[in-house]
Amino acid sequence: MKSGKINVKTENIFPIIKKFLYSDHEIFLRELISNAVDATQKLNTLVKSGVAQVELGDTTIEVVVNKKEKTLRVIDKGIGMTEEEVLKYINQIAFSSAEEFLDKYKGADASSIIGHFGLGFYSAFMVAKEVEIITKSYIEDAPAVRWKCDGSPQYKMEQHNKTERGTEIILNISDEDGQFLDEYKIVDLLNKYCRFLPVPIRCGNEKYWDKPEGEEKSKELERPRIINNINPLWKQAPSGLTQEDYLKFYRELYPMTFDEPLFQIHLNVDYPFNLTGVLYFPKVKNQMEFQKNKVQLYCNQVFITDQLEGIIPEFMQLLHGVIDSPDIPLNVSRSYLQSDAAVKKISTHITKKVADKLEEMFKTSREDFEKKWDDIKVFIQYGCVTDEKFYDRAKSFYLFKNIENKYFTFEEYKTFIETLQRDKEGNLIYMYAADVDSQHVYINAAKERGYDILLFDGFLDTHFINMLEQKFEKTRFTRVDADVIDKLIQKDEVQVSKLSEEETKKLKELYDNSIEKEKFTVTVESLSEADMPVILTRNEFMRRYQDMEKLSGQKSFYGAFEHYNLVVNSNHELASQLLNEPNAEKQAALTKQLIDLALLSQNLLTGEKLSEFVKRDLLFLQLQK
């Protein structure tokens, strides 16, 4: 037997590993399984190259939980280690055996060798009070070795009678980490981190029901529980895949998601970096809660994280799917991503591929693209607002939708409205509605003048409009209820008022005396006789400000100075009728009734005021009999 001291730079390396190196103790299982896969892949490389004259046989990795003995075993049938290799790779912390292996066997496939960090094995001490290694090298005459350490720098090593090639890691789980002796917990962790590793992984058995031929009833049977899909779809050639294959894999990734994705993008890059993956476009609901963290990052099929800030642009976190790259730099624990030039190149490339796919869909089948538009609009808007390069690509296929459900590119819509919807100063006015039903009165007024109205009913529209006003020259976006229609697009010609200056002043006083002056400003305008007698409008800037406050979740300051314009139409017949009403009480009631009608059109008449309006309306009906 040999004993000795592990070659570390500090006596405190184990407390550091246990408390600080890894952000989550459960990571130990990912590291040990990755090492087991690494050992198996190394042996496979040696066999293929003719260096190792052995039969691979069944290389399934076994994970065995023994609650009674308080042990967890990870057993592989890979390359194994000699006594010298144990001394070198286990006792010299942070020596990367994977890197040395690739240097020695230059022809080996780097992507098949997972291990990059010599500290990975020592993550076992986060949950184990003692760790044991029993290993036998693939080299025929090399004796098996047993190594043991209790979490101090002291270790013991001796020869062992193990006859099968491979390595067995035995963790004596500490009392405070007893959760890792629950087989179902281990299965959950394996499913999280290891379900796409390239070597089969087994953990216990699973029960299933089967009806053997000739039997009347199904029987409950057991079979080995294989955790992983060793050939995930993103590693396969796109040319050999069908749409059903992509949908099947989507269900495998998200078994609790019932909506099917709209379409997907298959990533397959080998220069200037390695990147594979599949990104799915889900149906983005028109709500403020973005479902982020649905894209999973893998490094050679080992799950790393679904927190991809810095790897993909923010707006692409709305996508679902998988990205796999050995070129994304990770820190020593693989828990955090490190920002560098390679990451930026990968992020830029993914953005380009997504834009390429969308542009291709638009050009290939615009009709189908338009059918999908309502479901992908939020994603594209988010991209345009947050990523300048994406906007530069998207402006060729972004679609405006009007209230008639017709679609236009930016250029098409500009051509469509540029003759009629320019004001007297030459500005092009993009008129829009957020709710066709509640803004019906304003929409009608615009349509009577031949104007077209866009539909902006999404929660990102305000931010998007603000951005477009900075991009488009001599352009203004305004909602149909922001002002009276003739002021939204001011022309040289103006309506002449039927009232005298004195009558106009008196009419304004009637309305001023019937409203809350803190919340409303009364103006008398000479509008068309066909327009409403009283119109309620809201300042475009202030309303946008309130919308953005709501989206950001900040405490609203807008409510403290929320304000409306009450526009009285001096050319409507009711204006003259009101002025000529001899009964002051009836005049006041009619004024109040017209104000309430305007409030009702904006859903601002509620509670007691709504009840008063209904009673007053009944009174007017009785008076007319």
Q: Which of 46-55, 82-91, 105-114, 532-541 has the lowest mean pLDDT?
A: 105-114
Q: Of residues 606 and 205, which shows the higher confidence score?
A: 205
Q: Which of 1-5, 267-271, 278-282, 293-297 has the lowest mean pLDDT?
A: 1-5
- CATH number, domain of 619, equals 1.20.120.790
Q: Which amino acid, one-letter code, is at 476?
A: R
Say if residue 330's pLDDT is above 80.
Answer: no
- Distance of alpha carbon 301 from the chain centroid: 21
pLDDT value at position 285?
60
Q: Of residues 337 and 314, which shows the higher confidence score?
A: 314
Q: Which of 268-282, 409-423, 493-507 has the lowest mean pLDDT?
A: 493-507
pLDDT value at position 290?
56
Last residue of a domain, one of 446, 464, 494: 494
pLDDT value at position 526?
84
Say if residue 546's pLDDT is above 90.
Answer: no
**Residues 195-245: tens digit of each pLDDT:** 999 999 999 999 888 877 777 788 888 999 999 999 999 999 999 999 999
Distance CA 339, CA 256 (A): 33
Angle between helices 366-386 and 341-364 (to 10 degrees): 150
Side-chain-side CA neighbours of residue 498 (13 Å): 14
Q: Which of 254-263, 332-341, 429-438 has the lowest mean pLDDT?
A: 332-341
Same domain membership, residue 411 and residue 263: no
Q: For residue 168, is it within any domain?
A: yes
pLDDT value at position 332?
44
Say if residue 92's pLDDT is above 80.
Answer: no
Structural domain tally of the chain? 4
> Which CA distances in Å does 401 have to 260, 360, 374, 407, 434?
24, 20, 9, 5, 12
pLDDT value at position 620?
60
pLDDT value at position 478?
93
Same domain membership, residue 322 and residue 194: no
pLDDT value at position 95?
41
Same domain membership, residue 529 and residue 453: no
Average pLDDT value for residue range 263-283: 90
Say if residue 134's pLDDT is above 90.
Answer: yes
Q: For residue 385, is it within any domain?
A: no
Say if residue 449's pLDDT is above 50.
Answer: yes
- CATH number, domain of 482, equals 3.40.50.11260
Same domain membership, residue 266 and residue 179: no
Distance CA 153, CA 367 (A): 68
Q: Of residues 562 and 469, which shows the higher confidence score?
A: 469
pLDDT value at position 133?
97
Reported confidence tier of residue 404, pLDDT bands at 50, 70, 90: very high
Reported confidence tier of residue 114, pLDDT bands at 50, 70, 90: very low
- Distance of alpha carbon 571 from the chain centroid: 53
Say if residue 391's pLDDT is above 50.
Answer: yes
Q: Which of 18-32, 104-118, 231-245, 472-486 has the lowest mean pLDDT?
A: 104-118
Same domain membership, residue 164 and residue 115: yes
Element (DSSP H or E) covering residue 371 = helix 366-386
Distance CA 539, CA 487 (A): 12
Q: For residue 369, is it within any domain?
A: no
Say if residue 347's pLDDT is above 80.
Answer: yes
Q: Which of 47-56, 88-97, 103-112, 510-519 has the lowest mean pLDDT?
A: 103-112
CB 267 within 8 A of CB 279: yes
Distance CA 340, CA 526 (A): 63
Average pLDDT value for residue range 488-510: 84
Q: Average pLDDT over the chain, rounded to whole?
A: 85
Same domain membership, residue 580 and residue 436: no
Phi and psi for 248 in degrees, rounded to 5? -60, -45
Reported confidence tier of residue 562, pLDDT bands at 50, 70, 90: confident
- CATH number, domain of 306, equals 3.30.230.80
Same domain membership, residue 409 and residue 280: no
Reported confidence tier of residue 147, pLDDT bands at 50, 70, 90: very high
Distance CA 261, CA 311 (A): 22
CB 376 within 8 A of CB 387: no
Q: For residue 351, is it within any domain?
A: yes
Q: For residue 366, is it within any domain?
A: no
Average pLDDT value for residue range 381-405: 95
Same domain membership, residue 97 and residue 171: yes
Six-digit token pair at 241? Answer: 């895949």
Say if residue 492's pLDDT is above 50.
Answer: yes
pLDDT value at position 611?
79
Q: Which of 9-23, 289-303, 446-460 has the lowest mean pLDDT?
A: 9-23
pLDDT value at position 321?
95
Six-digit token pair at 524? Answer: 């008398």
Q: For residue 214, is it within any domain?
A: no
CB 492 within 8 A of CB 424: yes
Same domain membership, residue 147 and residue 20: yes
Angle between helices 366-386 and 461-471 (to 10 degrees): 80
Going through 396-473 in order, the beta strands assigned E by DSSP cover: 400-401, 407-408, 428-433, 454-455
User: Domain residues for 259?
Assistant: 240-336+343-361
pLDDT value at position 142?
95
Distance CA 284, CA 459 (A): 12
Average pLDDT value for residue range 322-344: 69
**Residues 576-600: tens digit of each pLDDT:** 888 888 888 888 888 888 888 888 8
pLDDT value at position 335?
52
Reported confidence tier of residue 313, pLDDT bands at 50, 70, 90: confident
Q: Which of 6-15, 115-124, 575-584, 602-611 has the lowest mean pLDDT?
A: 6-15
**Residues 30-75: tens digit of each pLDDT:** 989 999 999 999 999 999 999 988 999 999 999 999 999 999 999 9
Same domain membership, residue 451 and residue 564: no
Say if residue 113's pLDDT is above 70.
Answer: no
Same domain membership, residue 195 and residue 268: no
Say if residue 511's pLDDT is above 70.
Answer: yes
Reported confidence tier of residue 306, pLDDT bands at 50, 70, 90: confident
Six-digit token pair at 383? Answer: 């991209």
pLDDT value at position 138?
96
Q: For residue 394, is it within any domain?
A: no
pLDDT value at position 386?
92
Q: For residue 389, is it within any domain?
A: no
pLDDT value at position 554?
60
- CATH number, domain of 58, equals 3.30.565.10
Same domain membership, residue 156 and residue 13: yes
What percentage of residues in the chain have a pLDDT greater than 90? 47
Comparing C-alpha atoms, which of 362, 357, 399 is closest to residue 378?
Answer: 399
What percentage of residues in the chain have a pLDDT greater than 70? 85
Last residue of a domain, one of 442, 469, 494: 494
pLDDT value at position 117?
38
Average pLDDT value for residue range 467-481: 94
pLDDT value at position 551?
67
Q: Which of 159-168, 426-435, 450-459, 603-612 has the lowest mean pLDDT?
A: 603-612
